Chains A and B, each alone.
Chain A
Amino acid sequence: MNLTKDESICLVLGLAYKHEINSKTKLNKLLGRLNLNFIPLDFEFTLHKNGSFAVELGDIEGNELFDLSHYDYKGTQCTKYILKEKGMKLFDLVISKKLPQILSDDDINEIIERFYALSKLSAREIADNEHKKLLVDVDDRFILKQTAHDLSVELFDLYGEAKKVDKNSFAGIDLRALIEYSYFLVRYLSEKKFKKLDDESYDFEADMLDYYFLYNIAEIIPFMNEQLNSGHRDIRKINKFYQFLVHSAEGIYPFSLENPDLKDLCV
């Protein structure tokens, strides 16, 4: 399950104060934040040479779901995005039908509150210390590489334990799959993607999902550990994390089940 581009934009607009967002940058930032809530989007997030990153919105135009309104702010042309009635219906569908497939009621309520509050901030305030947190900055290359390596080692142990999990429940099958996928994804980042990180010529047109995935997997390792040792497995939460890793930018991100050559990336 992932959210289409229209669903993602309507979700963010629907959660926003007055159901509008007053700049493309702010829309970018809020869409990016959905990744930190483990919501899989059908978007590519690109890292640019000056270290900023953005979702690939393209030349977004107004449509039946939302309007674009241009205005002048201190001599600068800006664009406001306003949700329309049809967009509101799509937003309601996402909240009531799609998100409950992966999120609990508490998760959804938390997102509603958080994004409403975020929408009142400036783009800069929303971004906060995101670069630092995700280890995007050039100065953090060494830490990024080290983090990927450390996670790889940690996940190696979990992967070994996961093989002992019984398969006679859906929760057991799901937990094994989550740990396995996390392990090989981090190995891909550590052994392939970030291998040339030290090179001057390292391509900074990188995929932001590399950073989101690394950060999020680090966040969920304690959960995976706890689930391995628990008699009661939280199948919904396991599935939430799995859906995010597997279905984000499905078919676009290199480490994807929809990449026919994925086998070559599993080191």
Chain B
Amino acid sequence: MSCGLDDVVGFDECSLIHLCKIKLPKSFAKVLNSDAFQFKNRENLELLVEKLSERKVKLCKFEPMNLTINIQKAVSQILDGESGPSFLSSVFEKTISDGLYNSLVYISTNFETIEKSADISSTKEFFKNNERNLKKENNIPEDDDISIMKAFKFFQAKGQKFFVSEDEHFWGYKELIESEFKFKVIEEWLCSSLL
């Protein structure tokens, strides 16, 4: 299902964070055997953004962003995976956090902004009435997820709308989202399918 000129691709904030590549100072680079840190889907995401931009597909992000929470989640992901150094761990955390923040600010300038919806009460009710058992997350999508879904539903597009995310609150409800919110959810690790 490749994307064309009139299509729109929205990106979850976590997927934008996963686009970032952080140059590591030499002290950490030596210990981690790499001069940069990147998330596992980064190269696929970067290729996707590059190719979609060439095709003039509209790329969107949703605001207001939750930078503190999402960057902190990403940093925890990195450290939980035990890929941090054994010395100056707080300094390493700040290095990654600063790198993600600066990188994200730069990357997101290439994305058009869609304002998240404020009034989500009826949509929240909808999910409670259609609750599914998810494996990793709480069953009901977060308020922020719902505000994105509602905003994207009403975003005008001539072609199809796609949303890239690794959040189970989106891909765990993909069929329901497609029928009710009129956009297709693409799992982040399958984002190449849009090419």
| A interface, CB within 8 angstroms of B | 162, 167-170, 173-174, 176-177, 179-181, 184, 242, 246, 251, 256-263, 266
Contacts and interface: CB of A to CB of B under 8 A. Distances in A.
A256 B25 CA distance: 9
Given A174-B94, A180-B91, A260 B72 contact: no
Contact of B93 (A167, A169, A179, A263): A167
Contacts of B29: 260
A177 B31 contact: no
Given A170-B68, A170-B97, A177 B27 contact: no
A168 B69 contact: yes
Interface string B76-112: 0000000001111111011101000100000000000
Contacts of B30: 260-261, 263
A45 B144 CA distance: 51
Contact of A263 (B75, B85, B90, B101): B85
Given A167-B72, A168-B69, A263-B31, A173 B25 contact: no
Nearest to A163: B90
Contacts of B75: 167, 173
B72 to A, nearest CB: 6
A177 B25 contact: no
Given A168-B68, A174-B94, A260 B88 contact: no
B72 A263 contact: no
B173 interface: no
Contacts of B85: 263
B55 interface: no
Given A170-B68, A170-B97, A173-B97, A260 B27 contact: yes
Contact of A262 (B27, B93, B97): B27
Nearest to B92: A177
B105 to A, nearest CB: 13
Nearest to A176: B90
Contact of A180 (B27, B90, B97): B90
24 contacts: A162-B90, A167-B72, A170-B68, A170-B97, A170-B101, A173-B90, A173-B93, A173-B94, A176-B93, A177-B93, A179-B90, A180-B90, A181-B91, A184-B88, A256-B27, A257-B27, A259-B27, A261-B27, A261-B30, A262-B26, A262-B27, A262-B88, A263-B31, A263-B87
Nearest to B28: A257
Contact of A177 (B69, B72, B87, B91): B91
